[in-house]
């Protein structure tokens, strides 16, 4: 595999060019337009003018969870001890996001732990105040370590602080009525913190709970927002539909790996993180009907859509599929580059639809580790709406691949024309150039 020197994907990004906060009006951000090697700019509210009327716009409907939990160890005399931060990355048991977030007794998550050396043994506890006035205690127990992450089991019950008989009676009455089936998602909403990107160099604020979510987010599970979608408003989406542009959705729960820098000289030696995707059958059928006019909102949508080809290729070849509930379909990091792929995109997508029909499923669930880098052949996406990414990142490699290596033209223009960078920054619409 030809070497890809990550230093060639570096550029100067002064801290003052990183947008620490979003604009007051989402759709008033600047829009860089790239087509046929030429760059211009406009306002994002006019994005529809750069999409053909027969386009299919596909966005990621994932919603960021308040995944950061702050516990404190307690000393023998009951005094508050060391601060332990637990960052929930992805569910382990149940492995399904919705089942785990909906759990009402306990669940286990893969987590990063801040100050882990101070947490050697024992369970940590955190009080959770309910709207009913009762208090629940959230417990965290540290399990097996894998690399820099840990399995953490969470459970919750009536707080020992409210152990008087009257409180117990009220609590039991609520359980009997079915009014106290508190889910893990509700607990995170009550005591968790929204994990904004580390490069913002500030604490999460109340406004981030709204501004760091897309207007169409609805499926909880991400620990980072699909930020290309932050520019959309209901007015923009309505304008697109009035123009005849169709929209469809998919889900990729964004993991903390999206911020993982490439630390090796040759990008081919970088290990990509794996993310869980879910694509409705209706979305796949709509893509088949609109091939040649597909617009991905963000790199997460791009990675999901391009992964579909390789998943369909496996199914077309008659690969033995696992039983539902077992290990999911998977696209390995270098699958696109390991051999020649001759199957048409239409055939690959039709194979997925046939598989869903055979198994009686409405949604394709899979996992992808795909890396899109220079030399990649795009099979699904024709246009990409995306923000401006960090130097020496896999996302910048993706952009370079999409525009045929011409990323310098785009980023030089953005830097010299006062564009705002990264998650809360400005946007671009790029037309494929390969």
> pLDDT value at position 354?
95
What confidence category does residue 120 fall into, taking pLDDT thresholds of 50, 70 and 90? confident
Q: How far is residue 242's CA from residue 236's CA, in Å, rounded to a whole number? A: 10
pLDDT single digits (tens) 195-213: 999 999 999 999 999 999 9
Which is higher by pLDDT, 170 or 58? 58
| Residue that is written with structure tokens 């893509």 in the block | 287
SS3 content of the chain, % helix, strand, coil (to 5): 30, 30, 40
What confidence category does residue 259 fall into, taking pLDDT thresholds of 50, 70 and 90? confident
pLDDT single digits (tens) 12-22: 999 999 999 99
Q: What percent of the chain has pLDDT over 70?
A: 90
Q: Which residues contact 316 (CB under 8 A, 6 or more apart)?
A: 343, 347, 348, 351
> pLDDT value at position 167?
52
> Is the pLDDT score of 369 beyond 50?
yes
Helix (H, G, I), strand (E, B) or coil at 201: coil
Count of beta carbons in the 10 Å neighbourhood of residue 331: 24
Q: How far is residue 38's CA from residue 148's CA, in Å, rounded to a whole number? A: 43
Q: How far is residue 305's CA from residue 328's CA, in Å, rounded to a whole number? A: 17
Q: Over range 329-333, report the average pLDDT.
A: 94
Beta bridge partner(s), residue 295: 57, 383
> pLDDT value at position 63?
98
Specify the pTM.
0.91
Please spell the DSSP secondary structure of 206-266, one letter per residue. Answer: TTHHHHTS-TT--EEEESS--GGGGG--HHHHHHHHHTT-EEEEEEE---GGGG----SSB
């Amino acid at each position: 595999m030809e070497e890809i020197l990550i230093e060639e994907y570096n550029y100067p990004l002064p801290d003052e060019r990183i947008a620490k906060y979003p604009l007051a009006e989402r759709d008033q951000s600047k829009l860089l337009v790239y087509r046929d090697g030429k760059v211009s700019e406009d306002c994002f509210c006019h994005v529809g003018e750069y999409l053909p009327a027969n386009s299919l716009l596909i966005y990621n409907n994932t919603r960021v969870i308040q995944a950061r939990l702050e516990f404190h160890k307690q000393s023998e005399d009951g005094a508050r001890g060391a601060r332990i931060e637990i960052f929930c990355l992805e569910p382990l048991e149940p492995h399904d996001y919705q089942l785990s977030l909906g759990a009402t007794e306990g669940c286990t998550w893969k987590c990063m732990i801040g100050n882990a050396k101070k947490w050697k043994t024992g369970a940590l506890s955190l009080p959770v105040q309910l709207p009913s006035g009762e208090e629940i205690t959230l417990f965290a127990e540290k399990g097996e370590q894998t690399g820099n992450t840990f399995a953490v089991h969470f459970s919750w019950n009536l707080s020992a602080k409210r152990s008087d008989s009257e409180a117990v009676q009220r609590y039991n009455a609520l359980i009997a009525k079915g009014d106290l089936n508190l889910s893990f998602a509700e607990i995170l909403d009550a005591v968790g913190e929204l994990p904004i990107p580390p490069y913002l160099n500030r604490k999460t604020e109340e406004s981030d709970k709204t501004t760091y979510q897309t207007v169409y987010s609805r499926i909880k599970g991400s620990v980072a927002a699909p930020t290309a979608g932050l520019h959309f408003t209901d007015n923009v989406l309505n304008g697109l539909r009035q123009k005849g542009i169709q929209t469809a959705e998919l889900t990729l729960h964004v993991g903390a790996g999206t911020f993982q820098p490439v630390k090796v000289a040759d990008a081919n030696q970088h290990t990509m993180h794996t993310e869980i995707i879910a694509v409705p059958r209706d979305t796949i059928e709509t893509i088949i009907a609109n091939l040649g006019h597909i617009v991905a909102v963000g790199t997460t949508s791009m990675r999901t859509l391009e992964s579909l080809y390789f998943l369909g290729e496996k199914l077309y070849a008659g690969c033995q599929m696992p039983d539902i509930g077992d290990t999911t379909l998977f696209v390995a990091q270098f699958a696109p580059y390991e051999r020649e792929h001759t199957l048409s995109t239409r055939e690959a997508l039709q194979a997925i639809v046939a598989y869903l029909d055979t198994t009686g499923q409405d949604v394709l669930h899979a996992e992808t580790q795909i890396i899109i880098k220079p030399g990649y052949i795009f099979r699904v996406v024709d246009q990409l709406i995306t923000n401006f990414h960090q130097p020496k990142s896999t996302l910048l490699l993706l952009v370079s691949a999409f525009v045929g290596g011409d990323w310098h033209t785009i980023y030089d223009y953005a830097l010299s024309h006062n564009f705002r960078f990264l998650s809360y920054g400005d946007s671009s619409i790029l037309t494929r150039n390969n």
